[in-house]
Structure 1
Amino acid sequence: MTIPKRDKQAIGQRFLAAFREAGAAEVAPDILLPADTLLDLYGEDIRARAYTSTDPLRGEVMLRPDFTVPVVQRHMAGGAEPARYCYLGEVFRKQDPGEERPANPRDNEYLQAGFELFAHDREADAEVFGLFHRLLAPYGLQAVTGDTGLLMDAVRALPLSGARRDALLHHLWRPRRFARLLARFSRPAEARDLPSTSAPWAGLRGEDEMQARIDRLLADRHAQPLDPAWIARLERLFAVRAPLPGALAKLRDLVAEWTELGPAVLRIEERMAMLLAQGVAPDAILFDASHGRQTMEYYDGFTFSFVAPDRPAWPPVASGGRYDALTAVLGRGGRAIPAVGGIIRPGLVAELEAAR
């Protein structure tokens, strides 16, 4: 269904007005962004999704793939005080066609209307989710939540070396790579022959980086295989998917044998109570423990999305989450402030309205 751009803009303006009513100041980040910050955050994987080019003065640049990073940069440069921001504008993403070109490919340039909240407030997750829940209530969407912090705590609790845990955490958002690593760590370590040499160092990486890599490989030779019981626990955790109260019951069962998950599960319980105070019925929210593995890599806590159940090929109509660590990375001198936000795709909302 082809929706005129002006209709999508009108719907986006409607959401933008609602965000302003919620106390947010409107901002308009640049469309053309320096690529170095995004590459530092995401690694080279971002190239597969973003449009990049080279400017003779600015170096490598990128068409805006999302709003969160430039909004965080703007906020952290101004002092990291509590604040609310909103925005409306285009983002640009390459769409993966899979093995065959889809009959109706999704747009690679589309509108996002977003809301970001920076505050030392325990109820911020519930406030942002409650706002999105109220705005999207007329459209019959399914709310899905998760908690990346829960998954990260699970990985950190594995009886592995620090290097192996770091590798799993790095690939938590890449399920196939994560599974391959986990399978390798469950087998006896490979014997590696890395003899010393007097040959000169060569390559794109520095000598210190290459030596650190060699040291990690040498240390890994002595690592013990991961007990299959831990893999079974991870699989049980990743498979938790149920209405929020039922999912919490399953998570409590896991805590009985995996005590390190206790603080994260307690946070989820407290969040459920806060959502109830926002007028959100917990039974209507689906909790998917693997949800955090399908989101942007900078989310490190609560995550959410709103999906159209009768349109399985669609991306989420809205999505968001908590990204506390990102503010520390982009803040000056390691300064940080808790932050949570989300976006709505006005183009998809326009299609839902047109189909009524």
Structure 2
Amino acid sequence: MVVADRAYLKGARVGAGLAALEAEVARILSVLGQTGAARVEPAALQPAEVLLDLYGEDIRARAFVTRDDRAEMMLRPDFTVPIVRLHMAQGVNPARYSYCGPVWRRQEFGSDRPREYLQAGLEIFGEGAPAEADAEVLALIGEALAGAPVSLLTGDMGLAIAGIEALETSAPRRAALRRHLWRPARFQELLHRFGVDQAKMTVRRAALIEAAQSGTLDAMIAEAGAPVGLRTAEEVMGRVERLVAEAVTPPLDPGKVRALEALMAVRGTCASVLATLRDFSRDLPGLGTAIDRFEARLAAFAARGIDPAALAFEAGFGRTTLEYYDGFVFGAIAEGRPDLPPIASGGRYDALTEVLGQGQGMPAVGGIIRPEALLALTGGSPQ
């Protein structure tokens, strides 16, 4: 990479290239800020211990982390989590923010993906009905992308989460499935494992469980001698207690597992999938509320001039992105440019506000645009 190059743009750190990018950023922010959003600029260095786990496995592996004599810090890998932290520190008042600045993510050896790139975005906290806020964010992002050759794709993590909660199984199993929802291969592995009778366990695991149930586990551990490895005797006991609980948990209903898998495979337009989603509520009781939210969002889209019959939907969309999304999600995919990342993305993250608000949460939704990628897509000059 030439020193003057930046993410997806050649020569955009100096002269005319930089001027074009600055003009594009100003244009995007004028669109996103037209409804009175306050500008916000969270610190580039954020506390790693507080925030890193909130991003999920992928970002944890790619965050730039550093330490001094005061704390372990990371360069912000996105804006949403730092803005939620900043906002929730001030209480649970409604607000909206716009922003633009660099974010940083480590890349794998040999990757040509940028380590630093700009994000421009909008975050809305607690204003109006959630469906209306979802539609407003999508409409504003769409307005800022007007004329760009992109395809909009939407999803709803709330449907998958509601489907998991509808399974008749233990709370630890549901928690494990939710935790791995963003790792499809591991999720499928758990679904299969939880659907198998635990009587088919390994001989060693069966012996441990039998010892725990008969009260001889302490003697077995003592006979084994000093612990070798990282786990203490107390941790081993805790693990065995979880195995005992797992052993007496009935397997998942195969019909409900099939229904959940089929639910997460639904795709079509937002309008066309509504009836299909309603059908799943027979096999997955409790799904109705999530579907009601989906239907309300479609009405809000239509009120904003977004045609639900022309808007693509995939129930599985969002399962490989940031793990703090728990409802509506969307992305804008560059047409004919597989070398570019999603030009825009976003979604709803109500639960994140509760985590950073120390138990006090509020509805929240936002979206970002990558100005450099957008300019690269549209020819390198402001629209």
TM-score, normalised by the number of residues in structure 2: 0.84
Aligned to 1:305: 331
Change (3 A) 1:48 1:56: same
1:42 is displaced (CA, Å) by 4.0
Identity %: 48
- Bigger CA radius of gyration: 2
Aligned mates of 1:301, 1:266 — CA distance in 2: 12
- Shifted more, 188-197 versus 142-151: the winner is 188-197
2:95 to 64, 83, 90: 83
Change (3 A) 1:284 1:346: same
Question: What secondary structure, in the 3-state scheme, does the structure 2 residue paired with 1:297 have?
Answer: coil
Aligned mates of 1:238, 1:279 — CA distance in 2: 27
Residues 32 and 98 in structure 2, CA contact (< 8 A), matched pair in contact too: yes
Aligned to 1:346: 371
1:337 is displaced (CA, Å) by 1.4
Equivalenced residue count is 349
Aligned to 2:24: 11
Aligned mates of 1:309, 1:212 — CA distance in 2: 51
Aligned mates of 1:131, 1:211 — CA distance in 2: 54
1:206 is displaced (CA, Å) by 8.2
Aligned to 2:33: 20
Question: What secondary structure, in the 3-state scheme, does the structure 2 residue paired with 1:138 have?
Answer: coil
Change (3 A) 1:54 1:204: farther
1:22 is displaced (CA, Å) by 2.0
Aligned mates of 2:103, 2:234 — CA distance in 1: 37
Aligned mates of 2:243, 2:58 — CA distance in 1: 23
CA deviations on 1:206-237 (whole Å, 9 max, x unpaired) are: 88766544321221112222233222212211
Is the aligned partner of 1:113 residue 2:120?
Answer: yes
* Counterparts of residues 43-62 of structure 1 (less than 5 Å): 46-58=59-71, 60-62=72-74
Is the aligned partner of 1:30 residue 2:37?
Answer: no
Aligned mates of 2:86, 2:233 — CA distance in 1: 35
- Shifted more, 137-146 versus 204-213: the winner is 204-213
Question: What secondary structure, in the 3-state scheme, does the structure 2 residue paired with 1:293 have?
Answer: coil
TM-score, normalised by the number of residues in structure 1: 0.90
Question: What secondary structure, in the 3-state scheme, does the structure 1 residue paired with 2:33 have?
Answer: helix
Aligned to 2:106: 94
Question: What secondary structure, in the 3-state scheme, does the structure 1 residue paired with 2:331 have?
Answer: strand
Aligned to 1:290: 316
1:2 to 3, 6, 9: 9
- Shifted more, 170-179 versus 87-96: the winner is 87-96
Residues 119 and 337 in structure 1, CA contact (< 8 A), matched pair in contact too: yes
1:94 is displaced (CA, Å) by 2.3
Aligned mates of 1:8, 1:205 — CA distance in 2: 53
* Counterparts of residues 114-263 of structure 1 (less than 5 Å): 114-122=121-129, 123-189=132-198, 190-191=201-202, 192=205, 193-194=207-208, 195-196=217-218, 197-198=221-222, 211-263=237-289
Aligned to 2:86: 74
Change (3 A) 1:21 1:313: same
Aligned to 1:277: 303
CA deviations on 1:84-107 (whole Å, 9 max, x unpaired) are: 11111011112357xxx45xx221
- Shifted more, 195-204 versus 32-41: the winner is 195-204
Is the aligned partner of 1:325 residue 2:351?
Answer: yes
Is the aligned partner of 1:337 residue 2:349?
Answer: no
Aligned mates of 2:354, 2:364 — CA distance in 1: 10
Aligned mates of 2:121, 2:340 — CA distance in 1: 19
CA deviations on 1:124-143 (whole Å, 9 max, x unpaired) are: 11111111122212113111
Aligned mates of 1:45, 1:217 — CA distance in 2: 28
Name the amino acid aligned to 1:220: E
Aligned mates of 2:259, 2:380 — CA distance in 1: 43
1:24 is displaced (CA, Å) by 0.7
1:20 is displaced (CA, Å) by 2.2
Change (3 A) 1:211 1:327: farther
1:43 is displaced (CA, Å) by 5.9
Structure 2, unmatched stretches of 5+, are 1-7, 209-216
Question: What secondary structure, in the 3-state scheme, does the structure 2 residue paired with 1:163 have?
Answer: helix
Change (3 A) 1:46 1:308: closer
Off by >6 Å, runs of 4+ in structure 1 = 199-209
Change (3 A) 1:290 1:320: same
